[in-house]
Structure 1
């Protein structure tokens, strides 16, 4: 039996003789199904096609784990390292022995989590490799396409490790979340945002989306909810769901000002 991987979003589905007819993630309006129809692959097929893990230090205490060539949505995971244990955030759909070995050498995992269901990817494979908790917001747990007993739900905020806190922001999904890492950016603080807070290509602004591929905006109430959720935290830098772009400095100010500019456009006041 095979773990099926959606070729478009790279979410994993349970071991069955044949893949499901549809991927529920891609069939939702926030994602997309290819014009030619639903397609499936497996980790073995991806490895045979030449995909392998791409592991890089992003900054001291933070390691990125992606895939080359890119798989599906193309997000890369972020491993937050602390003396009390490690958190893996936004696991990509691709995982191989090289990545597992590297994380084991860096101290293993206490927990795995993600910003939203599009990025649940190989979350169960990582959990099983390290007997780690899967931390999912109560509001979005029904989107997990490969249920597992390691799942622990949360809402609001959850301190996973000292100085490493999950923050539910809502918006893109009701449970859309970020990680606040207090020790990042030389102690100035970092947000790991997936696409809950979307860093733009110029690395000088952020934006908000209900659906990125389908170009659907987020309502004003949800934008204000995201900004309010992160207001209590100090942070200077934001890493989104991909290697680049990165908002490298002065991120608190940029989030506030970008949100107000976004709302001006929604209201037709720009």
Structure 2
């Protein structure tokens, strides 16, 4: 009898993106905003990661915010955030790995009502997560072509904002990727969740903007200016970046505004340290 088993969706080892079918290359890694390591294109699957001994990592990252990651670190070290809001749980960004223990842990916290993704580097295994929790995944229409595993759970939105609940709004600032998104949570003093669309620096008094972080390609000044103006219309005390414990803990609006001003100042022609 012929083997009719459906092959497991492949996962790129370099960036963590899961695809619907086997393919020779990973478009995310071929793009100049990402890269392939010296070993070239390599693939695995979720079962392969489980066999290698990966597991979930959970750490509180702020009030009502739980970080979810993978240990040992895999791909670009993606870290998701579970927001426990008054209208249900929202998973911000995603990770390439998922297992039964992680599903049980999240279910004990109330499951997931919405999944929202900042940009293609965090698509990872978002469809696996959507199926596990019966939750829609919100992706901006402008980045539709980057979705490697199309699925009815993926819902595309357009325009500058999408209101998910009374407290949670997605915003398209148009930096890093055309369909990039950040999430604003209006509860309390307000918080902005940015992935590395707006990157929280190791010195968390600052954020920055890049077209490509690994390849050190700066973002266009006009795009940074427009993004800063757009985000200034929302109130937030905290900014949650893409990596573990990269959090601006106070005066978020002020931090973003002066960081954008600094970026634009140094991007001006002839403006280099020690001159002008």
**TM-score over 0.5 for the pair:** yes
- 2:54 matched residue in structure 1: 51
Task: State how 1:1-270 maps to structure 2 within 5 Å.
Answer: 1-14=7-20, 16=21, 19-155=22-158, 156-183=160-187, 187-267=188-268, 268-270=270-272
Rate the CA distance shift 1:22–1:12 in 2: closer, same or farther, 3 A: same
**What does the per-residue CA deviation read over 1:117-165, in whole Å, with 9 as the maximum and x for residues that have no partner?**
0111111011111221111101112111100012211121111122111
Deviation (angstroms), 1:234: 0.4
CA distance in 2, matches of 1:247, 1:229: 19
Q: CA–CA distance in 1 between the matches of 2:125 and 2:165?
A: 22
SS of the equivalent of 1:139 reads helix
**In 2: Cα distance, 1:89 partner to 1:121 partner:** 12
Contact kept, 8 Å, 1:54 with 1:68, in 2: the verdict is: yes
Per the alignment, residue 4 of structure 2 pairs with: none
Aligned length: 264
Contact 1:25 1:117 in 2 (8 A): yes
**If the length of structure 1 is used for normalisation, what is the TM-score?**
0.94
Q: TM-score, normalised by structure 2?
A: 0.92
Unmatched 5+ stretches in structure 1: none
Task: Give the CA deviation at 1:258.
Answer: 1.0
